Structure 1
């Protein structure tokens, strides 16, 4: 399983990524259900040229994209981004902490098949 984590650019100005990366490498919180080998392919912010980032993730075989917990809590485009990503990947709308969001419900979407 190849995984990407997208975080909020504004948060990355002060965040080290420790929460997201600990959850991934310790297989807890949003990553607790994974079995077998999982590989972190991308750890990037979600701003900038998202189409290019999606193309690169497709080329690198990403299966699932996790939107960071800070995206769920603070990004105004959280739902729109999740829907856009689900055109190509499974999407899990958090990384660490509780599955239930304080302000927004956590989005979990399977890749849209056409």
Structure 2
């Protein structure tokens, strides 16, 4: 699995993504049951509200080899402050429309 990780720009100064990386390394939470090795192709943010830059950033990571786009838990669950992104569903839909159905999208990390 070659992962492109997209994080929330609003929480990046509160979280260095270590729990996301730990979940990938240990194949826990969203990565439970993943058989193959997990390689991180890139890490970026959504670009800030409303997350429009996440679409082109996901596309860029796919062009660089990602076969899976992961929206970090800071976006979908609101970790670490408990406020999920109000634009997450629109962001996910726009990413799917841009990158197609051959690329897997995982909507949380831990």
TM-score range (shorter-chain normalised) is: 0.7 to 0.9
Taking the aligned partners of 1:72 and 1:37, their CA distance within structure 2 comes to: 24
- Alignment RMSD: 1.6
What corresponds to 1:90 in structure 2? 104
Taking the aligned partners of 1:50 and 1:69, their CA distance within structure 2 comes to: 15
Query: Which stretches of structure 1, 4 residues or more, deviate above 4 A after TM superposition?
Result: none
Taking the aligned partners of 2:7 and 2:54, their CA distance within structure 1 comes to: 12
What corresponds to 1:27 in structure 2? 27
What corresponds to 2:80 in structure 1? none
Taking the aligned partners of 1:80 and 1:51, their CA distance within structure 2 comes to: 10
For residues 1-114 of structure 1, the aligned pairs below 5 Å read: 1-47=1-47, 49-73=53-77, 74-87=84-97, 88=99, 89-96=103-110
Higher relative contact order (CA 8 A, sep 6+): 2
Partner SS state of residue 86, structure 2: coil
Instruction: State the 1:51 CA deviation.
Output: 4.5
Q: TM-score, normalised by structure 2?
A: 0.77
Taking the aligned partners of 1:8 and 1:86, their CA distance within structure 2 comes to: 18
Task: Structure 2: give runs of 5+ residues left out of the alignment.
Answer: 78-83
Instruction: State the 1:29 CA deviation.
Output: 0.5
Task: Structure 1: give runs of 5+ residues left out of the alignment.
Answer: 97-114
Taking the aligned partners of 1:56 and 1:37, their CA distance within structure 2 comes to: 21
Q: TM-score, normalised by structure 1?
A: 0.75
